[in-house]
C-alpha cells in the first residue's frame, strides 16, 4: 500500500510589518500590514496614494500583493577609477591593521 502524498506546502503568508501594494489601483498605493486577522484578512496602514495615505483599512489577500524587494545595484556598476598608486586603505587605518594587511614592498 502506497503512502499518501503529503499536502503541498502552504503559500507564504504575509506578516505584520510586510510592505504591500494594492493590486487594482491606478496609483502607486503602498502600505504596511499592521495586523493579521483570524479570518485571513489584514489591517493595512497605507503610506502612499492620495486616496489612501494615512488611512487604515481591512483588506483580503486577493486585494494586495507583497511589494518586491529592490536589489542594490551599487556593486554591479563600473568600478571606481583611482589614480595610479592610490591606496585603497587610508594610512590611519593601515597603522591599525598592521600585520593583517599584505606588505607593500
Q: What is the CATH number of the domain that holds 32?
A: 2.30.30
Can you give the residue range of the structural domain that contains 25? 19-66
Decide if 34 is inside a domain. yes
Assigned domain for 61 exists: yes
Is residue 91 in some structural domain? no
Contact 65, 76 (CB under 8 A): no
Whether 2 maps to a domain, the answer reads no
Cα separation, 56 vs 53, in Å, equals: 9
Sheet architecture: strand order including 42-46: 56-59, 42-46, 30-36, 19-22, 64-66
Tally of domains in the chain:
1
Q: What is the pLDDT along the chain (105 residues), one digit of tens a residue?
A: 678 888 766 666 899 999 999 998 888 899 999 999 988 899 999 999 988 999 999 999 999 999 876 665 555 455 556 666 655 656 666 555 566 655 655
Amino acid at each position: 500500500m502506497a503512502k499518501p502524498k503529503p499536502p503541498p506546502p502552504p503559500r507564504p503568508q504575509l506578516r505584520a510589518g510586510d510592505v504591500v501594494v494594492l493590486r487594482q489601483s491606478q496609483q502607486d498605493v503602498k502600505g504596511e500590514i499592521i495586523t493579521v486577522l483570524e479570518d485571513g484578512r489584514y489591517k493595512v496602514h497605507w503610506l502612499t496614494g492620495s486616496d489612501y495615505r494615512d488611512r487604515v483599512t481591512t483588506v483580503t489577500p486577493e486585494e494586495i500583493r507583497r511589494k518586491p524587494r529592490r536589489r542594490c545595484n551599487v556593486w554591479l556598476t563600473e568600478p571606481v577609477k583611482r589614480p595610479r598608486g592610490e591606496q585603497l586603505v587610508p594610512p590611519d587605518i593601515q597603522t591599525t591593521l598592521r600585520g593583517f594587511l599584505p606588505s607593500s614592498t
